[in-house]
Amino acid sequence: MRTHKITIPGLIMLFALVVLMESCSTVPLTGRSQMSLLPESNMVAMSLTSYDQFLDSNKVSTNEQQVEMVKRAGRNISAAVEKYLTENGYESYLQYFDWEFNLVDSEVPNAWCMPGGKVVIYTGILPLTQSETGLAVVMGHEIAHAVARHGNERMSHSMLVQMGGMALGEALKQKPNETQAIFSAAYGLGSQYGVMLPFSRQHEYEADKMGLIFMAMAGYNPQEAVAFWQRMSANSGQKPPEFLSTHPVDSKRIAALNEIMPEAMRLYEASK
């Protein structure tokens, strides 16, 4: 009778598989399974620290008209997000959101949303959004990243690779610098070629779809998303090949948006 010995590496692999199976969650709206090793409460706590530091070192816009537009679009889309989560069995997600919307003076055409619903729009993107509806494209996309917990997924993947799935609490105690570096990388402050880049593009496509649905539910015409990305494409100049970029090439992004446009338009019409 043949016997099988379980080696230490085998036990480690078995443990890792169990951790992965128990740490799978589902992305709202798309239904994709994702790995989430980290408590969302910890992600929110770390994001608040980074968010406060950012606001302390950057100038918040005093343009009252633009600031009000940002806050209004944020209120409308966050209300649509909360409605969707409530009606589709994701009420538990709401406890982690304490929405805040800021416009920051910067020539960089950028925007982001941290876990917990802390949103920053840079004034440099407003010439490209051109209107509140264009801004809703950006706002919906960035909020979708937070709703889908893409940062948690990226950080979970990195911690599994770099720290063997060490619990976040232990990682913060034993390797605080490494843990902070992983958090920064999860939010685009670092990059690497290879495995992580297709993963990032997947998140971009997912945020595009979710953002389109959220803006439509909020009463913004989703067709503006195509026009916005066309303007972004025209403004971007020469880009690196897709395999060296964390974002989809514009033509593929626009094609993907057009595929889900009929669904978004139905929701937009229903919102009127």
What residues are labeled active site? 142
The rounded distance, in Å, linking the Cα atoms of 272 and 264 is 13
Q: Which residues, 6 or more positions from 212, have their beta carbon under 8 angstroms from its beta carbon?
A: 140, 222, 225, 257, 260, 261, 264
Residue type, 219: G
Helices (H) and strands (E) in the chain, counts: 11, 5
Element holding 109 (H helix, E strand): none
**Partners of residue 33 on adjacent β-strands:** 26
CB 212 within 8 A of CB 264: yes
CA angle 196, 198, 204 (to 5 degrees): 105
Sheet holding 118-122, edge to edge: 100-104, 118-122, 111-114
Quick one: the chain helix, strand, coil %, rounded to 5? 65, 10, 25
DSSP 70-83: HHHHHHHHHHHHHH
| CA end-to-end span of the chain | 72
